[in-house]
Amino acid sequence: MLVVPCVLLAVLSWVYDGKQHTFDQVGASLLGIFPLILMFLVTSIATLRERTSGTLERLLSMPLGKADLLGGYALAFGGVAVVQACLATGLAVWGLGLDVVGSPWLLLVIALADAFLGIALGLFVSAFAASEFQAVQFMPAVLLPQLLMCGLLVPRDTMQPVLAAVSDVLPMSYAVDGMTQVLQHSGVTGDFVRDLAVVAACALLALALGAATLRRRTP
């Protein structure tokens, strides 16, 4: 789980061997997307397993709020996300030569925010899955539309107006925009702060919705 983003970034650099500019453009975006997707999968499946095994019910039988419980899970998975984001960012910048105008530390900040967003979304959708297979099925339903419309494949302002309007409310769009800001600007821009704030707000909203929909008893 820790090395998968690193391996994917390394493969991407080999795919674009000799095309450094293209790797810089795509690699910076995927540096935020890979941790988001992986933490979504890991969190949704692990939390579902806790519920189906009865561990979650036993915890909720204690005087413990649902928000406190999900917050604890988020912190636990967050520790993994921190290591994962640090490894991926370090490899991309110093190992694979990802050329960014801004500070690599800003890349790390937005990568961490994206990973926490994946954790929050995973905790949210796990409440609606009855099996691990169903949890995996949520990935194309929740993340694939965002991947198609986040600006990775084509600029968002060149999309059809309806698709562009939809992409404006998808958190992954701001994850990609935040990485692009670091790629193109040397300092902290207002757009970067906005993108980071939107990603963080979406993560908090997903955690709140997850706490509201979490059932104390498994059907």
User: What is the predicted pLDDT for the residue at 122?
Assistant: 87
Phi and psi, residue 22, nearest 5°:
-65, -40
Share of the chain above pLDDT 70, in %: 89
Q: How confident is the model at residue 216 (pLDDT cuts 50, 70, 90)?
A: low
Phi and psi, residue 150, nearest 5°:
-85, -5
Contact (CB, 8 A) for 101 and 184:
yes
Q: How confident is the model at residue 23 (pLDDT cuts 50, 70, 90)?
A: confident
**pLDDT exceeds 60 at position 218:** no
| pLDDT, tens digit, 9 for 90 and up, residues 81-94 | 888 888 888 888 88
User: What is the predicted pLDDT for the residue at 132?
Assistant: 73
| Longest pairwise C-alpha distance within the chain | 59
Phi and psi, residue 176, nearest 5°:
-70, -40
Q: Please state the pTM of the whole predicted model.
A: 0.86
**pLDDT exceeds 60 at position 217:** no
| Other C-beta atoms lying within 10 Å of the C-beta of residue 25 | 17
**pLDDT exceeds 70 at position 60:** no
Average pLDDT of span 143-154: 88
